Amino acid sequence: MKKTTFGMIGTGLLAFMIGFGYFPVSNIITPASAAPAEQAAPAEQTTGTSDENSTASTYTVFINAVEKDAGGNIKVDTDKIGWYTGAAADKLFLEENPDAVEELGGAPDGYYIVNNDTTEVTLPVAANAEVLMQIYDHTGNYEDMEINWNESIGLAKFNAQYNNPLGLLDLSAYPYHITVKDGEIVKIVQQYLP
Annotated domain spans of the chain: 5-190
pLDDT-derived band at 105, boundaries 50, 70, 90? confident
The percentage of residues in the chain with a pLDDT greater than 70, rounded to a whole number, is 73
Question: Is 90 exceeded by the pLDDT of residue 52?
Answer: no
CA gap 119, 74 in Å, rounded = 20
H or E element in which residue 87 lies: helix 86-96
DSSP 110-133: GEEEE-----EEEEEEEEEEEEEE
Of 24-28, 128-132, 144-148, 167-171, which range is least confident?
24-28
CA gap 83, 192 in Å, rounded = 12
Counting Cβ atoms within 10 Å, is residue 169 exposed (0-12), middle (13-18) or buried (19+)? middle
Once rounded to an integer, what is the mean pLDDT over residues 160-182? 95
pTM of the model: 0.74
